[in-house]
Structure 1
Amino acid sequence: MDKRVVRFPGALLALAIALASSGFASGEATIDPVGIDEGVPGGFTFASVARRASDLVANPYAPDRPELPHYFADLDYDKYRDIRFQRDQSLWAAEGLPFRVQFFPRGFMFEDRVVINVVDQGHAVPVDFVGSLFDYGKNPVPTDIPADIGFAGLRLLYPLNRDDVFDEVAVFLGASYFRAVAQGLHYGISARGLAIDTGLASNEEFPVFREFWIEKPDRDATEITVYALMDSESLTGAYRFRIQPGLQTLIDVKAQLFFRDSVQKLGIAPLTSMFFHGENTERFIDDFRPEVHDSDGLVIETGHGERIWRPLTNPHGLRITDLQVTSPKAFGLLQRDRDFTHYQDLEAHYQDRPSVLVEPLADWGKGVVQLVEIPSDSERYDNIVAFWVPETPVQAGQQMALEYRLRFSRDPEAELLGGRTWATRIGAGGTDILDRTRRKFVMDFVGDSLANQPPEAPVEAVVSASSGALSDAVAQPNPEINGWRLFFELTPDGDTPVDLRAFLRKGPDVLTETWTYHWVRE
C-alpha cells in the first residue's frame, strides 16, 4: 500500500481527536442574514442536498482548496492545536438551546474549504468565517484575515454527562471522517462517509464533505440533524446524520450516492480504529503498558443468526480479510476489554474508548465485511479499517441509496445472552517454552448461556483449522470470570498461514459466538 495511504488517515485522526478534546466552551457565532430556501416547497430538506449532489456529478471533480496565507499554510501540528475557538462564540449558547456548535479553521493538513450553513424553519443560512471566532495562541496571525478563508469542519456539544456542562459529542473534521462519544467515554474509533479503494495497490481515494447544513434544534430537543454534501473524483453524495447523544450515542445515516466513475472497491459504513498490541500479540513490544488499542475485535452478526468474533492484530505486513455475509444484521469494531489494569495508561484511557456497531436499516444483500489491518510501529496511527463491500461493483452513472445506524457505546452487546469472547491468548505449546513449532491458543468466553452451566456440564469445544494439525480441544469452567475456557494446540505446516475457527456447544445447542483467527508465524 502507498505510504501516504497508511500514514495520512492516522495522523489526521490523531490530530482531530486531540483537537476534539481541547476544551472549547460556549458562546454565539455570527451568521449571514441572507437566507436560502433551495427552491424546495416547505424549505430545505434532504432532497435539497440530493439535488445538489445530482447536479454536481455532471461536472468534473474540482476540490475547493483556495490558497492559504502563509500564517495558516505553514502551521505544524502543535501550532494548529494552539488555535482555539473562542469560548463566548459557540452557536446557540445565548439562546439556551440544548445543542451548541463550534468550528475549526483551515490550516496545516486541513486544506479543503468547508461551507457550513444553519437551517432554521426550512431556511438555510450560511455561517460567515470571522477571524475573531478564534484565539490563535502564539501564532502570528493578523487581524485582517480574509473572509473567504473558510472553515475546515465542526463539532457538536451537548450536556452529555452533566446538565451544566456541554461536552463534545460529535466532530466532523477532515475528508469524510467523523467521530462521536457516548456517556462516560473518550474519543477513539472514527467513522467515515465512504472508503474507496482502501487496501489496493492504487492510491486510496478520500471523499470530502465539502458542505454542511445543521438544523437548529428546538429548546427541548434530544437529537440534532446534520446534512452533508460529499464530493470526490469518483462520486458525489447527499448525507443526513440524525445524532442522538446519550448512554449510547446513536447516529442514523441516510445517503444518496451518484457515481461519476466506476469504483473498484466501494467500502460502505467504514470504521477506522487503532490496534498497536494486545493480549494476543506474540512478538515482544517494548512498552510498560500490557495493551494499547482503541478496539480489540471485529464482530459480525450474519443474516442467519451466526455471530462471528475476529480478534484484531498488528501484522508484519498488510493483511486484508474478507468475511462473506449475506444480509448482515450488524458489524462493528468493539473495545470489549474494559479493565484499566490491562492498559495502565492514566492519560489515554483506552478502557473508555467507544465500541461502534453498524446496523443496516435495509437488506444489503450479498457482499463481504472486509477487515484491513495495516502494520504500525506506533499508537499514533489508525491502522484498522472495517467496512461492507457489496458483491456487485458500482459503475459510472449508477445511483445508490443507503440507510444504517451507528451505535457508539461502552457495551453495545449488553443484552446479549449468548457467550462472547472475553480474551484471546497465544503462547508456546507443549512443555518446552523454547519450542515454537507448536502454538497454544487459549480463549475465555463469558455470557449468561455459560454462567448458568454447572461445572460438570458436558460443554464441548469445537475447533477447525485450514491447515496444520490440532490437538484435542478442551473446554473447562473458568470460575474467575464466571465463564468457560477453550484451549488447544496447533502444529502448523511450516510457515503456512492458518485460518482457525472455534466455539462451545452443549449437545445440539451452540453456547457461544464463533471465534475466528488468521494465524501467521511471526
Structure 2
Amino acid sequence: MSAHTLSRRGLALAAAAVLTAVCVLSATTRAHASGHAFSFDMVKAQAKALATKPYTPDSSPLPDFFKNMKYPAYYEIKSNLDNLLWRNERLPFALGFFHRGYLFPRKVAINVVQNGKYEEIPFSEDHFDYRKSQYPGGRLPKDMGYAGFVIYHAYEEGGRYKECMVFLGASYFRVKGEDQEYGVSARGLAIDTVEPQGEEFPVFREFWVEKPASDAKKLVIYALMDSQSVTGAYRFVLIPGLRPQVDVQSEVFVRKDIHKLGVAPLTSMYWYGENTGRFPKDPRYVDDFRPEVHDSDGLLMHTGAGEWIFRPLINPKRILGNAFSDNNPRGFGLMQRDHDFSHYQDLEALYHIRPSAWVEPGGGWGRGHVELVQIPTDAERYDNIVSYWVSDTPARKGDILHYDYSVTFAHDQIPGVPPAGRAINTFQMRGGMCGSDPCPDAVPGSHMFGIDFSGGILGDLPTKAPVKPDIWVSAGRIIKPVAIPNPYDHGWRVYFEVAPPEGDPRPIEMRVFLKRGDDILTETWSYVWMRD
C-alpha cells in the first residue's frame, strides 16, 4: 500500500472520530485448535450466538511503542514482501499483513481454511520489515495479532505479485485492478451516519481465507462482524482483473433497534473539481495548481423503474444529505468518470486511475432509498463522501437480515453502465454574462450551468439533429436553455441559467436530460445549487 493510501484511510478514520461519537469497537479473539472444521454456516452460527451476548470491546494488550505511534513511524513498518504467505508456493494469491498500532490498535484474528479445516495464523515479526522504523527490537508475543491484511495477485503465471485488495480498519475494504490505484472504499455496514447520536462503525473481528488452488481465479474470504448494534457473517469472493469484482453474501443479526442501517456503503473523497470556482473571488476557490482533486466525481443510480440518474459530487459548506427513493434498485455507485491525467496533474496520488465502485443487488431489496452524504472538507486527506442503501423497513432487535450484492471496481466505463449518453462535465458560474461583461438582458442573481453529455448515439448524430434539453428546477425559472453539438467530446453540451425566487435562499434541485422527439438520449443529470 502506498503512503498516500494509508494516510488517507487512517486520517479518514480519525476524521470520523471527530465528526461523530465513534464507539471503540472490539475484536476479541481466541486461539483455535489446528484442524477445526469450517463452513460458512459455522460463521453464521458464531454471529447468531454472539448477538445474544452483550457487546464486549477489545481488550487485547498492545505495547506502548505501538499504541502511541504516529503516522510516519507506522508507515515505516513495511510488509516483508519476501515472506508473503503462499509466496514460496507460487500460488496465484498471496497474503501480507498490517501491524497493529497508530489508528489500528484493534486485534483481528486471521485464519487459513484448507480442506474444510481452519487454523489461525500466529503473529510473526518475520511478516514485517522494521528496518526503517524506530522499533527498538525484541520478540513480540505470538498472540499479538494483526490489524488487517492485504491480498496480492499474480496476474500472469509466474508474474510479479501486485496488491489487489485490502481489509484494514472497522469493516472497510478496498480493491484495485491491475492498472488501478486505490481510491473509493467499501465497507460492511454503515450505522447512523451523520445522525445526532453519532455514527457506529461495525468491525470485522475475525477472518477466514480459503487457501487457493494453484490454478485459482478467485479468492474466498469469510468475516465475522461485531458492534454494539449488530453481528454478522460475511462471505467475499474476489475476482481480480482489469475490472475486479467482489461478490458479497451477508447475514446480519440485529442486537438492538437501529435508527438508520446503511447497506453496501461506499466511502470516498471529493475536494474540488471542474464544478468548483477557479477564481480567487469565488467562495469555492482553492489555491492549488492541480485542476481537480477527488477519488470520485459522482453518484450513479439505476432505479428499479429503469431510469439512470447521475449526481455530480460537491464539497458543501455544511453537511448535506440527500435521499433518492426507489423500489428494488438495480444498481448504484460512486463513480470516477474523469480519467484524463491533465485534469489532475498529480504524479503521486494518480487520481486519473482511481476506480469507480458499482454495486448491483442480488435479488430484490424492496422499498427504500439510496442516501448520499457529503461532508465539508478543506483537504484531500479526509474521506467526506458516503453512499449506501437504506430500507424503508427499520432494523429491529432480533431481526435477521440478508443482503447479497456485487461490487465492481473499474477505472474505465463499465459496459452498459449506463447504456445511453452520460454526463461527463458539470460547469457553473454567475449568470447573465457575455464574456467577462454582464449581458444587457442579465437577470440579477441568476446562475449559469453547463453540462457535457457524451456516449450512446450522441457522437453519431448530425449537428442539426433536433436534440432538446429537458430541464426541471424545484424553484425559480429557467432562462436561455440550449443544446449544441460538442465535437471535442463527441457529444452535446447543454447551457441554461436559473433565476431564483426572490427572498427564498433555499437550495434549488435540478434535473436535465437530452431527448430527440420522444427518444431519451441520456441519463438524467441531477444537481443541487446550494446558493451559498
Q: Do both proteins adopt the same fold according to a TM-score greater than 0.5, normalized to the shorter chain?
A: yes
Contact 2:373 2:387 in 1 (8 A): yes
Task: Write the distance in 2 (CA, Å) between the matches of 1:168 and 1:318.
Answer: 34
Matched residues in 2 for 1:66 and 1:37: separation? Answer: 23
Corresponding residue number in structure 1 for 2:11: 11
Contact 2:8 2:383 in 1 (8 A): no
Kept in 1, the 8 Å contact 2:456–2:521? The answer is no
1:409 aligned partner: 410
TM-score, scaled to structure 2: 0.90
- Equivalents in 1 of 2:108, 2:258: separation in Å? 25
Match of 1:437 in 2: 445
- 1:96 maps to 90
User: 1:160-239 to 2 correspondence within 5 Å?
Assistant: 160=155, 164-239=159-234
Q: Cα deviations across residues 190-209 of structure 1 (Å, max 9, x unaligned)?
A: 00000000011121000010
Give the alignment partner of residue 428 of structure 2, picking from 406, 426, 429.
426
The one-letter code of the counterpart of 2:74 is Y
**Structure 1 residue 505 and structure 2 residue 515: aligned?**
yes
Q: Distance in 2 between matches of 1:230 and 1:343?
A: 37
Q: Which amino acid aligns with 2:248?
A: V
Contact residue 302 and residue 309 of structure 2 kept, 8 A: yes
Find the partner of 1:484 among 469, 488, 492.
492
Counterpart position of 2:57? 63
C-alpha displacement of 1:161: 7.5
Partner of 2:27: none
> 2:458, 2:491 within 8 Å by CA — same for their partners in 1?
yes
Deviates more, 1:351-360 or 1:450-459: 450-459
CA distance in 2, matches of 1:412, 1:328: 20
Question: C-alpha displacement at 1:311, in angstroms?
Answer: 0.2
2-structure distance, mates of 1:262, 1:33: 32
Q: How does 1:235-274 map to 2 (within 5 A)?
A: 235-274=230-269
Describe the shift of the 1:425–1:163 C-alpha distance in structure 2 as closer, same or farther (beyond 3 A): farther
Q: Tell me if structure 1 keeps the 8 A contact 2:67–2:102.
A: yes
Distance 1:164 1:392 in 2: 48
Confirm or deny that 1:308 pairs with 2:309: yes
- Kept in 2: contact 1:161–1:167 (CA 8 A): no
Q: Which runs of 4+ in 1 moved over 4 A?
A: 7-10, 12-15, 432-436
The aligned amino acid for 1:422 is: I
Match of 1:457 in 2: 465
1:56 maps to a residue whose letter is L
Contact 1:113/1:210, CA 8 A, preserved across alignment: yes
- Distance in 1 between residues matched to 2:126 and 2:212, nearest whole Å: 25
How far apart are the structure 2 equivalents of 1:211 and 1:412?
35
State the shift of 1:434 in Å.
Answer: 7.5
* CA-CA distance at 1:71 after TM superposition: 1.4
* Inter-partner Cα distance in structure 1 for 2:313 and 2:386: 10
Counting only pairs closer than 5 Å after superposition, residues 118-157 of structure 1 correspond to structure 2 as 118-136=112-130, 137-157=132-152
C-alpha distance in 2 between matches for 1:67 and 1:79: 20
In the other structure, the counterpart of 2:365 is 364
- In the aligned structure 2, how far is the partner of 1:166 from the partner of 1:132? 18
Residue number in structure 1 paired with 2:34 = 35
Query: 1:18 corresponds to which residue?
Result: none
TM-score, scaled to structure 1: 0.92
> Hey, what's the Cα distance between the residues in 2 that align with 1:64 and 1:511?
54
Q: Deviations over 1:382-423 (max 9, x none)?
A: 000000000111100110011000001112433444110010
Deviation track 1:89-108 (CA, whole Å, cap 9, x = no partner) reads 21111111110001111111
Task: Give the letter aligned to residue 427 of structure 1.
Answer: M
* SS class of match (1:151): coil
2:95 and 2:14 map into 1 onto residues whose CA distance is 21
Partner SS, residue 48 of structure 1 = helix
Among the aligned pairs, what percent are the same residue?
46
1:21 corresponds in structure 2 to none
| Cα distance change of structure 1 residues 309 and 163 upon mapping to structure 2, 3 Å threshold | farther
| Secondary structure in 2 matching 1:445 | strand
- The 3 A distance-change label for structure 1 pair 150 and 159 is same
| Conserved 8 A contact 1:356-1:412 | no
Unaligned runs of 5+ in 1: 1-6, 16-31, 39-43
Corresponding residue for residue 475 of structure 1:
483
User: Quick check: 1:324–1:368 contact (8 Å CA) kept in 2?
Assistant: yes
Distance in structure 1 (CA, Å) of the matches to 2:426 and 2:456: 19
* Inter-partner Cα distance in structure 1 for 2:360 and 2:459: 28
Identify if the C-alpha distance between structure 1 residues 14 and 101 changes in structure 2 by more than 3 Å, giving closer, same or farther: farther
Greater mean alpha carbon deviation, residues 478-487 or residues 430-439: 430-439
Cα deviation for residue 13 of structure 1 reads 6.2
| Residues 235 and 152 of structure 1, relative CA distance in 2, 3 Å threshold | same
Retained in 2: the 8 A contact 1:119–1:213? Answer: yes
Decide which moves more: 187-196 or 130-139: 130-139
Using the alignment, how far apart are the partners of 1:312 and 1:161 within structure 2? 37
What secondary structure, in the 3-state scheme, does the structure 1 residue paired with 2:72 have?
Answer: helix
Does the 8 A contact of 1:191 with 1:271 survive in 2?
yes
Determine the C-alpha separation between the residues in 2 that align with 1:237 and 1:352: 33
List per-residue Cα deviations over 1:282-311 (Å, max 9, x = no partner): 321111111100000000001111000000
**Equivalent AA in structure 1 for residue 264 of structure 2:** A
